Amino acid sequence: MSVISTNQSTSLPSWRQADSTPFLQIDNVSKQFGDFTAVNQVSLDVYQNELFCLLGGSGSGKSTLLRMLAGFEQPSTGRILIDGVDMSSIPPWQRPVNMMFQSYALFPHLSVEANVAFGLQRERLGKNEIHRRVREMLDMVQLGHLAKRKPHMLSGGQRQRVALARALVKEPKLLLLDEPLGALDKKLREETQFELIRIQEELGITFVVVTHDQEEAMTLATRIGVMNQGDIIQTAEPQEVYEYPSNRFVAQFIGNVNLFEGLVVEDERDSVTIQCDETQTLLQVNHGISCAPNQSVSIAIRPEKIRLHRTPIDSKVNSASGTITDIAYMGSQSVYKVRLESGKEVRITQPNIIRDTSDRLTWDDFVYLDWDADSSVVLTS
Ligand code: ADP
Ligand code: MG
């Protein structure tokens, strides 16, 4: 019996367990360049075996934060602890950390094998051990058969995996990856994302990955830290970031969203009712917020959560009506734009389940929209 209960408690991810110790602790870290603040009082805990993604637009401070973890930059204020040790006075080469650079940092005149072995040779390890570790790592990234090739004889994706093998062969406890798949085309990037997850899980090394690509973060991450202008504005599991964005910026940054503006008319413990002029209806959301009466808020609803109807619907709440102004057929789904009477434009996506659609909705059709109360969220900031 005790075995079962132990298993149950350990199956919860570390960040959801109150008593687990973080592997990486970023404690109120800021970085100033002159009077410009690139990273602003960031506090963040990352746990062992996490594949944590720092996600944000260009210039949001992601690389600066990563470089402070590696020791290439010093924090202006705050502390970084790795495995319980304060890194303030530890130089980059003595940290249990490695950074994966873009594949163009490979040595062009060295073979795949020699590129991967390079870091180990500098550690003066025995020849046999180096050979064994290099072979193991090349097998791990599925490049064993290309060990003798030079980088220019590899595809972009293969070069990227050499760079990964080179970073991993030194067995860091923490691997930092700055836009690791940025140079790959979309299809290859998606395949490589799954490779990266497999390798991370097999090795059990903690990864911190920087990306500006929200789909990439959603695919890769155990948790995502969303950055904007030097701040981490939400840290959560991918699904939570998407379904329960904590503010307007996150809602709009991650995926597509419709934001309606309205005034709170009823604020219950577990529901909120909002008067919305844009839809000319009441909107109801199934979670409580704490706010002043008449506070103005945004209601966020994802395009795939809105239903489209040809005929009027009974419900007076969480509904709207308008005219189709645009349709984009995207293969697996179609995107509809509907202009409400208020002028507000709403985006709706519908999966293309059946091929023949003689009854397909088309431009200028008048349509009725509705959605469920637990499909939307209220945003107050
Ligand atoms: P990201 O990786 O999210 O695109 P960075 O961390 O590279 O963003 O940069 C954040 C901000 O800090 C940018 O505005 C950048 O211009 C600035 N910055 C980064 N490094 C330096 C530096 N060494 N000196 C001055 N400003 C810098
Ligand atoms: Mg960057």
pLDDT tens sequence across 52-111? 999 999 999 999 999 999 999 999 999 999 999 999 999 999 999 999 976 668 999 999
Å from CA of 163 to ligand 1 middle:
24
Reference 116, options 167, 158, 71; nearest CA is: 167
In the three-class reduction of DSSP (H, G, I as helix; E, B as strand; rest coil), residue 286 is classed as coil
Nearest atom, ligand 1, residue 67 CA: 6
Residue 350 has φ and ψ, to the nearest 5°, of -130, 135
Residue of 30, 31, 32, 33 to test ligand 1 pocket, by largest number of atoms within 8 Å of CB: 33
Is 71's C-beta closer than 6 angstroms to any atom of ligand 1?
no
Q: Which pLDDT score is estimated for 327? A: 95
Nearest atom, ligand 1, residue 210 CA: 2
- pLDDT category, 186, cuts 50, 70, 90? confident
Residues with beta carbon < 5 A to ion ligand 2? 63
154: CB partners within 8 A, 6+ apart: 112, 146, 162
Reference 379, options 249, 231, 278, 282; nearest CA is: 249
Q: Which pLDDT score is estimated for 6? A: 41
Is 228's C-beta closer than 6 angstroms to any atom of ligand 1?
no
Nearest atom, ligand 1, residue 33 CA: 25
Residue 343 has φ and ψ, to the nearest 5°, of 100, -15
Is 58's C-beta closer than 6 angstroms to any atom of ligand 1?
yes
Å from CA of 333 to ligand 1 middle:
38
The model's pLDDT over 319-374, given as tens digits with 9 standing for 90+, comes to: 999 999 999 999 899 999 999 999 999 999 999 887 666 678 899 999 999 999 99
Nearest atom, ligand 1, residue 66 CA: 6
The model's pLDDT over 218-237, given as tens digits with 9 standing for 90+, comes to: 999 999 999 999 999 999 99
- pLDDT category, 10, cuts 50, 70, 90? low
Long-range contacts from 18-25, C-beta under 8 angstroms, 24+ separation: 20/47, 21/84, 22/46, 22/47, 23/47, 23/48, 23/50, 23/82, 23/83, 23/173, 23/174, 23/206, 24/69, 24/80, 24/81, 24/82, 24/174, 24/206, 24/208, 25/79, 25/80, 25/81, 25/82
Q: With a cut of 80, say whether residue 8 has pLDDT above it.
A: no
Q: How far apart are the first and last CA of the chain?
A: 47
